[in-house]
Amino acid sequence: MDFSSIPAALPALWDGLQTTLQLLVLGVLGGVLLGTLLAMMRLSHNRPVANLAALYVNYFRSIPLLLVITWFYFAVPFALRAITGEDTPVGAFASCLVAFVMFEAAYFCEIVRAGIQAIPKGQMSAAQALGMTYGQSMRLVVLPQAFRKMTPLLLQQSIILFQDTSLVYSVGLIDFLNAARSRGDIVGQPHEFLIVAGLVYFVVSFAASQLVKRLQKRLAV
Amino acid sequence: MDYNWDWGVFFRSTGIGEEIYLDWFVAGLGWTVAVALAGWIVALLLGSLLGVLRTLPNRWLSGLATLYVDLFRNVPLLVQLFLWYFLVPDLLPEPLELWFKQDLSPATSAYLSVVVCLGLFTAARVCEQVRTGIQALPKGQTAAALALGLRTGQAYRQVLLPQAFRIIIPPLTSEFLNIFKNSSVASLIGLMELLAQTKQTAEFSAHLFEAFTLATLIYFTLNMSLMLFMRWVEKKVAVPGLLAAGGK
């Protein structure tokens, strides 16, 4: 094992890590947003709307993420052409991001739904008795409390997403893992680079999950 | 959308021998199931052992199991797979290394790597479920078993584990389903499982949407049937009166 060529590769690895982090942050934001919307749909009294959201969630939860990434890599350019009517070149980054947002939304939806359901019904009734509309009571009363409760779970899911971003390797996007793999191949030390990549993923996720555990303890009353 | 839908594509010849595209999907599903089931056996055995270790009073043993869980849960599955497939064979003793690299067919060596990888990866998750199941039991169960003169091993085998496993069937089911979904990473080291066959069909036939729709449907059906099967198992093994959810 010879790790001497790692320092020279650091800028390239850092570029890859930035792609990974961008995917993570945008994926989490988009996923939580869409997930919250889906959760409200699932809890809606309108049957078809609730069923539609349930179908979405069950569908995405029963197929592998890698399948979604691969499919969207091919399908997003197609779909865009259908919508805009002209060839719109999209890179792997955009298609992967769409895949992550849509896939993770199914998981975030379940977390948000559980969070909303954990808020006592009286909160909603009280808000409405004060004259708020349904939307206002959701936005101002129920959701702020629900999000506080589910922060640890949302963060845990984000750590999983951080690890899952490595799957973009399959469509050739240069994320952290792919940067490490290609660098390792160039300098002829694939093993060393793979080990370093594994270590970095480990350190980041381990530290993050320890922090989440701490947070969970602090939030628990 | 100028896309030429044609659902008959699956019955068309692939141009290779007498095969039709549907044969590729069947072969792919076969590999997916073979990977997932073998991986699951490894995961269940090792995970249960680790789960028991984590509940033992011995600091060293439970610490070892904790270390294992932390390690395998915090490294991405794909990185683990690359480590098993590219790195580990080089570390093996010479005869084993040659056997792995030269005597085995590429499909077999990829299969072995992915089974070991998924087995050990999922074991960390199974371990946590087993531990939770054991810890969910009232403390009196251990105490009563030991008071009856059972040794620790007997207490686990005959009193704690049978109850713990029944409690954790639902979370175990989701791990069981996950291993089927996770087996798709095998496509990235060249094993022709379901996802790889789908990609190949999409490329060969240029009927991308049909290929991926069929793959999705297969995964979806597989998932649903396994879930129903596990619900049936849960009902079947339920001890009346032990768990509220187990039966009436």
Domain count, chain B: 1
The yes-or-no verdict on residue B175 having pLDDT over 90 is: yes
Largest CA distance in chain A: 69
Q: Which of these ranges, A52-66, A151-165, B199-213, has the smallest mean pLDDT? A: B199-213
Distance from CA of A135 to the nearest CA of B (A): 34
Q: Is the residue at B149 inside a domain?
A: yes
- Decide: B114 and B186 in contact? Cβ < 8 Å: yes
Q: Is the residue at A1 inside a domain?
A: no
Domain count, chain A: 1
In the prediction, which pLDDT does B181 show? 96
The yes-or-no verdict on residue B244 having pLDDT over 60 is: no
Residue of B nearest to A201 (CA): B75
Subunit contact B219:A71, Cβ cutoff 8 A = no
**What H or E segment, with its residue span, contains residue A206?**
helix A190-219
pLDDT, one tens digit per residue, over A95-115 is 999 999 999 999 999 999 999
Q: Is the residue at B33 inside a domain?
A: yes
Q: What is the pTM of this model?
A: 0.91
Mutate to test the interface with B, among A202, A211, A213 (most CBs of B within 10 A): A202
The yes-or-no verdict on residue B19 having pLDDT over 90 is: no
Contacts of B224 in chain A (CB under 8 A): 62
pLDDT, one tens digit per residue, over B124-146 is 999 999 999 999 999 899 999 99
The range of the structural domain enclosing residue A29 comes to 7-219
Q: Is the residue at B232 inside a domain?
A: no
pLDDT, one tens digit per residue, over A141-190 is 999 999 988 999 999 999 999 999 999 999 999 999 999 999 999 998 99
How far apart are the C-alpha atoms of A62 and A188, rounded to whole Å?
A: 39
The range of the structural domain enclosing residue B141 comes to 29-193
Q: Is the residue at B228 inside a domain?
A: no
Domain with residue A150: its CATH number is 1.10.3720.10
Q: Would you say the C-alpha torsion B106, B110, B113, B116 has a positive or negative sign?
A: negative
Q: Is the residue at B208 inside a domain?
A: no
Give the A window 77-136 contacts with B, CB below 8 Å: 78, 81-82
Contacts of A74 in chain B (CB under 8 A): 202, 208, 212
Q: Which residues contact A125 (CB under 8 A, 6 or more apart)?
A: none
Residue of B nearest to A191 (CA): B87
Residue of B nearest to A207 (CA): B74
How far apart are the C-alpha atoms of A176 and A173, rounded to whole Å?
A: 9
Q: pLDDT averaged over chain B?
A: 91
The yes-or-no verdict on residue B2 having pLDDT over 70 is: no
- Decide: A152 and A215 in contact? Cβ < 8 Å: yes
Domain with residue B109: its CATH number is 1.10.3720.10
In the prediction, which pLDDT does B248 show? 39
Contacts of A205 in chain B (CB under 8 A): 73-75
Q: Is the residue at B242 inside a domain?
A: no
- Decide: B39 and B115 in contact? Cβ < 8 Å: yes
Largest CA distance in chain B: 76
